[in-house]
Structure 1
Amino acid sequence: MIGTNLDGNKLTFSIYAPDIEKLEIDISGLGKYELEKDDLGYFRGVIDDVNEGLEYKLLLEEKEIIPDPLSRFQPYGIHGSSMIISQKFNIPEINSLKLEDLIIYEIHVGTFSERGDFKGVIEKLDYLKDLGVTAIEIMPIAQFPGNKDWGYDGTFLFAVQNTYGGPYGFAELVSEAHKRNIGVILDVVYNHVGPEGNYLIKLGPYFSNKYHTPWGLTFNFDDRGSDGVREMILDNVKYWLDVFKVDALRLDAVHAIIDASPKHILQEIAEVVHKRNKLVIAESDLNDPKIIRQDCGYNIDAQWTDDFHHSIHAYITGEKHGYYSDYGSIDDIKKAFLDVFVYDGRYSKYRGKIHGAPVGDLSRCKFVVYIQNHDQVGNRGNGERLSVLTDKETYLIASTLYLLSPYIPMIFMGEEYFERNPFLFFSDFSDQKLIKGVREGRLKDNGQTIDPQSDEAFHKSRLSWNIDKEVLSYYRKLIEIRKRFLPKCKRPAKVDAGSNWISIKNEKILIIASFSENKIRIDYEGEILIGVNFPSKIFKDSEIKVSKGVGVYLLYEK
């Protein structure tokens, strides 16, 4: 594996740096060691008598000193010295995660607890186990500038954020999660690198001259010199899976990863992951099943599905700005249940073109759904959660629909107990031009008036843990119902919709959601499992009158 690898007291080091002619590693207390360059542009070396914990830097062309871009630990941040670690952690494995069993809980480490680090997450693992989640999804932890960031501005792909607890803290979190049989999904960013602290650019053709993203330089996966870049990304995949025993990776914004190679980098990532019997999940806004298809596709295990969120959000809030302008009817929610993508080859007014493709008979467990996540909350100007945009009855309806959908549900931290604190965008850059650009961009594009560089934006986003016991109990019950009665990965047997109501029938349960007072004709018999403003029993060929609410019924055997 590229980078620093310590075996006993022997350090092996390699890095792809074809654009420079001389490279030395300067280890504190030991001195400088010149590395040899091979014909492919790699500098390599073996150094004896090296101990864990020693600090080092790289010396380029005998004149420029930089931290190691492949560093495993940056204890002093993105511009400080790198540190050598052993990378041998005693982390227990768990049985492989299965898509059909996933109930994901998304966490931003810095705002999840008062501590704002991995130990703060560990302290809540028993709570999460009791809630019923089977995996936690950790937002990116690759070293980013400063002390507070969403994590998508990381510049050291192998270094765990120092303010969260570094590699030792992350290893402890994975270990403690596994002891409770909770899987760990790590959010990784391979579509771009952050704009501050990017030292890779000094070494070689790591970044594309052909493709661009709104967030920063994109990796060169298909142009001259790209072999070394691809190896770095694939080694990074192996690093998280092999060293930290992470159970799955979530790939950020794969629609921004452009690769014209004979084998797409996403397919190669999937192959590396599957050799280890682990999972890989992609975020994409393309509505393209090619990402998850095994035949003629990339064979990613699952992908995020925004259409489900947009359909429910637009309907219950009435919002019609931006991409919500394409949604807003009860029929959109119905189609999301039946066909996954609402836009599966339909014309999108917002995009001004036909969007998406049908998924056909693909397993419904290949899609991840949510009613909130870091993007959908945090990219609002004021970071409002659904709890402040709707009343509690509507909130519980939305919760029921997605937690009892045929798809993989993902809970955004705090959602399960009706958290009302916002989740804003925040950053901690030191470059004044970047700071100015972020402030102006978030105000213009998202309407965020609170300075994203301020401590206020960060502290306002921290969970209050002011728990609404009614909502928390409801979530626990829904998860229990999902595990006991919901058929796994199957398209609903029947979905009906009327004026302000929708019903979804599966093999054993019937979900009826009414967004206003309604009279609803019933074709089934059953007893309520959980409900708000619904009768305890329903009878075939009868009509029930309900106010706004939701009922989940266990159907009687025929």
Structure 2
Amino acid sequence: MVPMRFDVWAPDAGEVEVRVDGRAHDMERDPERRGWWCADVPAEHGSRYAFGLDGGPPRPDPRSRRQPDGPEDPSAVVDHERFAWAQEWAGRPLPGAVLYELHVGTFTTAGTFDAAIEHLPHLAELGITHIELMPLCPFPGTHGWGYEGVSLWAVHEPYGGPDGLKRFVDAAHGHGLGVVLDVVHNHLGPSGNHLPAFGPYFTDRHHTPWGDAVNLDAPGSDEVRDFLVGSALAWLRDYRLDGLRLDAVHALVDTRAVHLLEELSGAVDALAAAVGRPLFLIAESDRNDPRTTDPREAGGMGVHAQWNDDFHHALHAAVTGESQAYYADFAHSPVTAVAKTLRRVFFHDGTRSGFRGRAHGRPVDLTTTPGHRFLAYTQTHDQIGNRATGDRLGASVPAGLLAAAAALVLTSPYTPMLFMGEEWGARTPWQFFTDHDDPELAAAITRGRRREFAEHGWKAEDIPDPQDPATRLRSCLDWSEQAREPHAELLAWYRRLIALRHAEPELTDPALDAVHVTVGGHTLRLDRGRFRIAVNFSPEEALVALHHPGRADPRGYVPVAAWRPCPPPADTGCLHLPGHSVAVLRER
């Protein structure tokens, strides 16, 4: 063992001790950092330690790199230099990317990093460029979505812990795949959260759906912001990740002149320059505000991309006909709504949202904003898992409409993202599941889930119990599906579309002002350079005009990908498109 520096921020404590491998050591105030305590204690990789404040019980380190026995127990020392990386990795930038959202605990039945590694060749062959992992911070129990993590610097042990994540990232890089991690800065889980004992990590000045807000602007917020930024940089640096997805940034209440997102994006850009590879941030935001991704020098936050739920909602309404909740805003004329989100990014760009009862959003400057700053998708963990029974589109939507939706995502000017199993139209549900060992909390979650959907007409017995292990097992992918029809046909379609996107620069052109969309009843035509993407949302055959603006002869298009056989365009320049179908055509 060698002397190792242990430090902790506990500004209100009168005395602090660190207990390393069962032995207590008094800590001293750090003379250079207000509110910090430090001690040099012999320790090694794997040593267990915890902090005691004013004679209180031992608590894990807020900046713990490992929680080997769960979030309530002592932390463990991690020497990141011990891991032998096999891959030299120059990184993959966001422009031109195709992302794949993956939940480690249900990607396979085993639910571990090592089990997930076995399926990386499938993702590489599919044409994926980046895997977006759902949150990995420790949470109570073995199985859960990950959004109730409580140690923002550590890796959930049942998945494989720190070394398991490193093996996964190294293997992914070996297949040419970047790795993005979903991180949650807006709240911590209800169980195992010891941060309030150490300092003002939360404030009652603001409130969120999870209670008191994370302290970003009250006294003590300098250290809290440093805690969050430091955690983000540690993931990118210590685990060689390529980017981070920031959960629900609209819940980060920050009244300071420099918003946390601006501070974080600047720090990530500086780290990218230091390590010599591209790094990026992707925000989840419901504000429809392009300033989230506008460059800092232009007055924006500088985040590199953001999810676009408006595109999802419009496309979902068009292929399902659903009109409940927020889909009501899109259901009046869903094909027109899809067209607007393809042309102008946001459906609500200052227009009235009936669901919200007010105007919502802000227009995107189409002349200066590149399309890759916005993510397009037909399914995500939220949009599936927050349904009553976690049903996917593949469970009820005709294959032709699944193919049409995929074509619009993968030929759009945006950064496409798939949800695991979507590529073969997985029929397995993805349901809400938890694994709390506190019986009162577990029962409250089950009651709350069933009460929520009872308000929308569901019977309690039809709502899966989040605490039932069978709920998680039902949510695991069935990898045998992809070899059977109709799944195999859809998988081949996704592979074809992604290959086209990678091969044809016009399909990744981020120029939003060059996108043209034409709507005709239940049909839509998307123009991307020499390409025409014709979609028929109706079950009946339809004619789709392929006229090119300013072109005298509308003929000369050949299908390069079609979900169902269709005759070449007629002399009139119209395509006879079968019902529930899509065709991608290119000028001769």
The residue type equivalent to 2:578 in the other structure is: S
Q: Distance in 1 between matches of 2:20 and 2:211?
A: 31
Q: Which residue of 2 aligns with 1:519?
A: 543
User: Which segment is superposed worse, 496-505 or 20-29?
Assistant: 20-29
Structure 1 unpaired stretches of 5+: 1-7
Counterparts of residues 192-203 of structure 1 (less than 5 Å): 192-203=187-198
Q: Which residue of 2 aligns with 1:289?
A: 290
Given that residues 411 and 508 in structure 2 are in contact (C-alpha distance below 8 angstroms), is that contact kept between their aligned partners in structure 1?
no
* Residue 546, structure 1, aligned to residue 540, structure 2: no
User: Which segment is superposed worse, 528-537 or 388-397?
Assistant: 528-537
How far residue 139 of structure 1 moved from its aligned partner, in angstroms, is 0.2
* Residue 476, structure 1, aligned to residue 492, structure 2: no
How far residue 263 of structure 1 moved from its aligned partner, in angstroms, is 0.8
Please, which of 43, 46, 65 is the counterpart of residue 40 of structure 2? Answer: 46
Q: Which residue of 2 aligns with 1:33?
A: 25
Aligned length: 547
How far residue 547 of structure 1 moved from its aligned partner, in angstroms, is 2.0
Structure-1-length-normalised TM-score: 0.95
Please, which of 440, 451, 455 is the counterpart of residue 433 of structure 1? Answer: 440
User: Which segment is superposed worse, 237-246 or 214-223?
Assistant: 214-223
Q: Distance in 1 between matches of 2:147 and 2:508?
A: 36
| CA pair 421-317 structure 1, distance change in 2 beyond 3 A | same
Q: Distance in 2 between matches of 1:472 and 1:353?
A: 41
Q: Which residue of 2 aligns with 1:210?
A: 205
The residue type equivalent to 1:538 in the other structure is: P
The residue type equivalent to 1:158 in the other structure is: W
* Residue 456, structure 1, aligned to residue 462, structure 2: no
Q: Deviations over 1:239-289 (max 9, x none)?
A: 101111111010000000011112111111101111122101100011011
Structure 2 unpaired stretches of 5+: 273-278, 455-461, 548-553
Q: Deviations over 1:320-371 (max 9, x none)?
A: 1110010022110110110000000000000000000001121111000100
Q: Which residue of 2 aligns with 1:4?
A: none
Q: Which residue of 2 aligns with 1:537?
A: 568
User: Which segment is superposed worse, 539-548 or 259-268?
Assistant: 539-548
Q: Distance in 2 between matches of 1:386 and 1:12?
A: 52
| CA pair 145-378 structure 1, distance change in 2 beyond 3 A | same
Q: Distance in 2 between matches of 1:446 and 1:179?
A: 44
Q: Distance in 1 between matches of 2:188 and 2:35?
A: 21
Q: Distance in 2 between matches of 1:493 and 1:391?
A: 28
Q: Which residue of 1 aligns with 2:311?
A: 308
Given that residues 195 and 216 in structure 1 are in contact (C-alpha distance below 8 angstroms), is that contact kept between their aligned partners in structure 2?
no
| CA pair 307-170 structure 1, distance change in 2 beyond 3 A | same
Given that residues 205 and 213 in structure 2 are in contact (C-alpha distance below 8 angstroms), is that contact kept between their aligned partners in structure 1?
no
How far residue 522 of structure 1 moved from its aligned partner, in angstroms, is 3.0
Given that residues 193 and 216 in structure 1 are in contact (C-alpha distance below 8 angstroms), is that contact kept between their aligned partners in structure 2?
no
| CA pair 10-471 structure 1, distance change in 2 beyond 3 A | farther
The residue type equivalent to 1:458 in the other structure is: R
How far residue 70 of structure 1 moved from its aligned partner, in angstroms, is 1.9
Please, which of 110, 133, 136 is the counterpart of residue 131 of structure 2? Answer: 136
Q: Which residue of 2 aligns with 1:74?
A: 67
How far residue 93 of structure 1 moved from its aligned partner, in angstroms, is 4.8
User: Which segment is superposed worse, 53-62 or 412-421?
Assistant: 53-62
Structure 1 counterpart SS, 2:213: coil
How far residue 115 of structure 1 moved from its aligned partner, in angstroms, is 1.5
Structure 2 counterpart SS, 1:156: coil
User: Which segment is superposed worse, 269-278 or 52-61?
Assistant: 52-61
The CA RMSD measured in Å over matched residues stands at 1.5
The residue type equivalent to 1:372 in the other structure is: Q
Q: Distance in 2 between matches of 1:273 and 1:254?
A: 16
Counterparts of residues 482-521 of structure 1 (less than 5 Å): 482-485=501-504, 486-491=507-512, 492-516=514-538, 517-521=541-545
Counterparts of residues 320-335 of structure 1 (less than 5 Å): 320-328=323-331, 329=333, 330-335=335-340
Counterparts of residues 103-114 of structure 1 (less than 5 Å): 103-114=98-109
% identical aligned pairs: 37
Q: Distance in 1 between matches of 2:164 and 2:41?
A: 27
| CA pair 203-538 structure 1, distance change in 2 beyond 3 A | same
Q: Deviations over 1:131-181 (max 9, x none)?
A: 100000000000011111100000011110000000010011111111222
